Amino acid sequence: MISGLTIAIGGIGPAIAIGLIASKAMEAIGRNPDAAPQIQTNMVLGLAFAEAIAIYSLVMALILKFV
Amino acid sequence: MNISLAAEPVFYLSHIPITNSLLVTWILMLVIVLLGIFIRFGSWVIPNKVQSFLEVIYESSYKFVNDMLGPKITPQVYPMAITLLLFIAIGNLAGLLPGMGSLFVPLEKHGEIEWMPLFRAVTADLNMTFALAIIAIIANQYFAIKFLGFSHYIKKFINFSSPINFFVGILEIISEFSKILSFSFRLFGNVFAGEVLLAVMYYLVPFAVPIPFIMMEVFVGLMQAFVFFLLFIVFVKVSLAEH
């Protein structure tokens, strides 16, 4: 129960963040398609940082579940 | 289901437990070193398939690093970065091979026999990813000292010129340690979550349904290796930036 809540609540923020990052990156590519490779690299970087928060809560949930 | 957060010991080498992740690490090290020797001494003018594949990886990744760091720093930083990329990518992908987590060996523990999985994905062990993160961050500090000079480097962390700079220096020290944590937890969390996901899928529907999830894990494994590589380069770039 607690571990389920940990990942459920912890996933909300990163989900919003990843959605915002991807939507802004797509917007930027739409405005300037020539810059797509650089935008994609930076987007992946931003996604990695946002996703890390979700991974922290995932690790906590797994520790609560299995240890 | 057999899910364990820590890597299990497979056998003992005079009281030192050898875990299944460590065993797979040694096997992969052997494979990578043999591949390197093979390419070093066996390269041909007309490349075969393996060599052309590795040349494509080499050229594209070198160009990528060169675009980010510039021609002066790249020759020094590139070997470290590509080693991390290749090792993590091969480690993640090897964790999806058949036999990982499904072959068991007996281990005698307190007089009873327990069955331990013989192989486990290299990066599904927090010790391994933590070690990789520490190596990456120490290499990062090494490059910063080498290219900035020690006095310039230490000024970023310990600075008495004004109270604000002093606290910024403390924050910089904390951020170096938090980089280690985020590096290691990101990689471990992704790979271990993938293992758990696959185990649950095999348990629910053992046939055909796990295939798309395996494909997703291949993608996630390559992606995480690339993210580790990219973050290493970006951190080197940031630490070399002039203040």
More confidently predicted of B238 and B111: B238
Please indicate if any CB of chain B lies within 8 Å of the CB of A35: no
Pairs of CB atoms within 8 A across A/B = 40
Work out the average pLDDT over B76-98: 89
Chain B nearest-CA distance from A36, in A, is: 15
Structure-token pair, residue B206? 């053992």
Question: Three-state secondary structure along chain A?
Answer: CHHHHHHHHHHHHHHHHHHHHHHHHHHHHHHCHHHHHHHHHHHHHHHHHHHHHHHHHHHHHHHHHHC
Work out the average pLDDT over B93-112: 79
User: Which residues from B are below 8 Å from A58, CB to CB?
Assistant: 189, 193
pLDDT tens across B158-213, in order?
A: 888 888 888 888 898 898 898 898 888 888 888 888 888 888 888 888 888 888 88
For residue A2, the cross-strand partners are: none
According to the model, what pLDDT value does residue B243 have? Answer: 56
Chain A nearest-CA distance from B46, in A, is: 31
Among the partner residues A41, A56, A67, nearest to B5 by beta-carbon distance = A67
Cα torsion B90, B96, B97, B99 to 10°: value is 130
Please indicate if any CB of chain A lies within 8 Å of the CB of B4: yes
pLDDT at position A30 over 90:
yes
Cα torsion A10, A15, A21, A25 to 10°: value is 160
Are A66 and B4 a contacting pair at CB < 8 A? Answer: yes
pLDDT at position B130 over 70:
yes
Are B190 and A55 a contacting pair at CB < 8 A? Answer: yes
Chain A nearest-CA distance from B204, in A, is: 19
Answer whether B117's CB lies under 8 Å from B1's CB: no
Out of B9-13, B118-122, B173-177, give the one with best mean pLDDT: B173-177
According to the model, what pLDDT value does residue B62 have? Answer: 92
According to the model, what pLDDT value does residue B242 have? Answer: 64
Chain A nearest-CA distance from B50, in A, is: 27
Work out the average pLDDT over B137-148: 91
Interface test with A, best of B69, B182, B222, B238 (most A CBs within 10 A): B182
For residue B11, the cross-strand partners are: B18
Interface test with B, best of A3, A51, A57 (most B CBs within 10 A): A51
pTM above 0.90, yes or no: no
Other residues' Cβ atoms within 10 Å of the Cβ of residue A33: 9
pLDDT at position A48 over 70:
yes
pLDDT at position B45 over 80:
no
Are B185 and A52 a contacting pair at CB < 8 A? Answer: yes
